[in-house]
Amino acid sequence: MNSCLSPHLPLPQGACTKLDWYPSRNDERCRVTEWTCSCRSVYYELCQAGGLGFVRRVVQGEDPAVAETPRVRLAEARVMWRALLTGLAR
């Protein structure tokens, strides 16, 4: 039985969209509105900052790495998020 409360991403679908990932803006405050479970080595967060949305990818481990998609309108960020949650994007 899985005791995790947050969603886990399914395997990527055959023709999944490749998202653009850029280094994190560590100096910028943002609000995390949704997230996937951090029990996996890679987890994702849907974030908002300055009226825009983006997805943050966190790779855990000895040398953690944080990357983010470009800032887009909130509606577009939610589309990216849904694509991640359904395996249609990575």
Stretch (H or E) spanning 78 = helix 74-85
Determine the average pLDDT of the residues in 6-20: 89
* pLDDT digits 0-9 by tens, 62-90: 999 999 999 999 999 999 999 999 999 99
Mean pLDDT of the chain: 92
Between 12 and 57, the higher pLDDT residue: 57
* pLDDT digits 0-9 by tens, 19-44: 999 999 877 889 999 999 999 999 99
* pLDDT digits 0-9 by tens, 49-64: 999 999 999 999 999 9
Pairing of strands 52-59, 42-49: antiparallel
Spatial contact of 53 and 78, defined as CB atoms under 8 Å apart:
yes
Q: What is the band of 11 on the pLDDT scale with cuts at 50, 70, 90?
A: confident
What CA–CA distance (Å, rounded) separates 82 from 87? 9
pTM of the model: 0.91
